[in-house]
Structure 1
């Protein structure tokens, strides 16, 4: 099966902010988290994917169609939850469901009702009258049941409490099991990233750091406690040092060098995913 998303050499400039060049491929059956500091371009990238903003250069293909081209069949294969829903304020949840559901061939009414019931969403209230948490719950209830192959979620748990986050994770895992589907999720929540992600696409101030398989990434970084401080300015694989502690993203190279120089370490451990992300986003990386 062909990739759902193919982004090639995409660039975008907004005032003094530069995004890109971005290269990203999303395969069926995967969950990719967009990870980055505030203002790194995660939301902008999603808007470009939905053709809500124009690229300055490069191309974005969704389901083998250029999103900025004349053909728009790709839109029926994508569901997008943005951080702010424009034009919804005057309508109730029931109104919005009546507008949205008929547009999607595979709308899952049973799933919609289950989400509404579990989150206790008041469908008779106008969107503008709901709390931020209830607005987010309603937005998710109106997005996930569309049952499109690709789901784009921009900070979907920002206003959810812990029980609601847990339930949403369960819903998304169940949703992924229904067929050849993919999710792209922009999130600052490390627990969301740990539980859901197959891949981490890391952005730092608009710059693409890389697209990493989560399990491979956690295996790649190791911390070593040395018997004494190093005199060398740097060693192979080193990304961080604090006295007798050295963090490496190429442990085999680091260990080979230490053994070759007769330098011993007393202990070693893998890094937590949050520590790895922090290192990747560090300007001194």
Structure 2
């Protein structure tokens, strides 16, 4: 597999600069994927500097980097603290998270991430996991389905979508992408069909992989393992994850609850480095359309 096509690194220079790398420090790439960001971090490290890279997708293992300063961790990033402790690492100098789904995933037909192909409704990042998108579609209650499409797809007509799915599956199971598209297309405006389908697939993918809960746990774990002065660099792609990261960087907690001391100073374990979000340049957008919705935020542990 050519990992240049697997995943072209988004905001590469900006994210590496944001880490403010100490050549002998310990770093974590919690979203290894094709290894693009990891390779760039490793260029800046010398022994005893070390990079720990997390990925739960078996395909990512094909991109493991042969470097004495590199350790691959096959795990969901929500377990960052536990696995670093397993490797006898209590604190790190920087953590990078690129939350985008790899173009590789969208291009692998059988993984079921894209509505461009007909395939089983799968959408598992971790192929060892048991729950698929088909399980959600066919087994969730109508209310739970409506919640998934409302919370993660931000559909105002989520109850209508859920109702139609429940009625259809009573006739026969909904197991493929083409079945799902045929079923839901009449509920979407024709001029917005691709965007609406993308949101529906996003909602299912987030639920299958418990992405929002995993992100919450990773961010909270990241704050705990960062050294004072350590950097947390996060690239987001949709409003749900960006809101969570923005809340954390602004208030020190996921919920965005502002707590102040007696003198009116915000109580937080971190501070934002870039008050203005960093977005891709026109040059990058032309080179890598996947970066279109990317937002980069940087924070420092206090």
Q: Return the TM-score normalized by structure 2.
A: 0.30
Instruction: From the two aligned structures, give the one with the greater helix fraction.
Output: 2
Higher Rg: 1
- Give the number of the structure with larger relative contact order, counting CA–CA contacts within 8 Å between residues 6 or more apart: 1
Instruction: From the two aligned structures, give the one with the greater strand fraction.
Output: 1
Q: Return the TM-score normalized by structure 1.
A: 0.32
